[in-house]
Structure 1
Amino acid sequence: MTTLTLSYSSWLGINWKMVCTAGFLAACSLLIIYAFLINELTGGTYLIKNYDKQIDTLSQENRNLEVSFAKTGFLGSVEQKTQELNFEKTTSVKYIKILDTSVALGAK
């Protein structure tokens, strides 16, 4: 017998039913792991989306609080001073017209 014939007879001894079963089980287990990992990824994406919404809401609330604080701190004292000095809101603006002939001369 030749070497080719001897090696060919060893291939016949492999249990192909066992190899196919092992391959099928490996493919099924990989498919199950794939489905589990996709589920975890989707859950993580959902959590990130919710956290982004919460961050946006808190950022907007923070901006509103900063504006409110600035208003009560600075503008509150300004409004109090305007009331003490009896200032009023202007309703109309009138300009003073200066004639060309009326010029003040400085003393030398």
Structure 2
Amino acid sequence: MKTAILLKPNWNILCFIGFLAAALFLCFYVYSINELTKGVYFINSYGKQINSLLQKNRNLEVDFAESGFLGNLEIKTKELSFEKTKETKYIQILDNSFVVVK
């Protein structure tokens, strides 16, 4: 019958390897948290940029629509020979108001 030989562990080497592994895991943890924080920061900043660009786009769309509408309005008023009013006079007729524009 063979007997099993029990090895005595070298505790100094095992403790050194354990502390080294713990230090490496701690460094990896700090690096991972740093990368996650950077990612969240970039996502928030890109979200703000997107919102800013969307607002500018809406403003440009409104400006374009107004300029197109006002341009057509000016052309139409010139075609119909409209003039700017200078004064407005109201005439009272049987409790109703009637407007005369000069």
TM-score range, shorter chain: 0.5 to 0.7
The equivalent residue for 1:35 is 30
Q: Does 1:68 align with 2:96?
A: no
Normalising by the residue count of structure 2, what TM-score does the alignment of the two structures yield? 0.68
Give me the CA root mean square deviation.
2.4
Structure ID, larger Rg: 1
Tell me which stretches of 4 or more aligned residues in structure 1 moved more than 2 Å.
82-89
Q: Any residues of structure 2 matched to 1:25-104 within 5 Å, and which?
A: 25-87=20-82
| Deviation digits for residues 23-63 of structure 1 (CA, Å, limit 9, x no counterpart) | 11101100011001111111111111111111111000000
Unaligned residue ranges in structure 1 (runs of 5+): 90-108
The structure-2 alpha-carbon separation of the partners of 1:69 and 1:31, relative to structure 1 and needing over 3 Å to count, comes to same
Higher share of residues assigned helix? 1
What is residue 16 of structure 1 aligned with on the other side? 11
How much identity, in percent, do the aligned residues show?
Answer: 54
Give the structure with the larger strand fraction: 2
Aligned length, in residue pairs: 89
Q: Which has the higher contact order (CA 8 A, sep 6+)?
A: 2
Secondary structure (helix, strand or coil) at the match of 1:13 reads coil
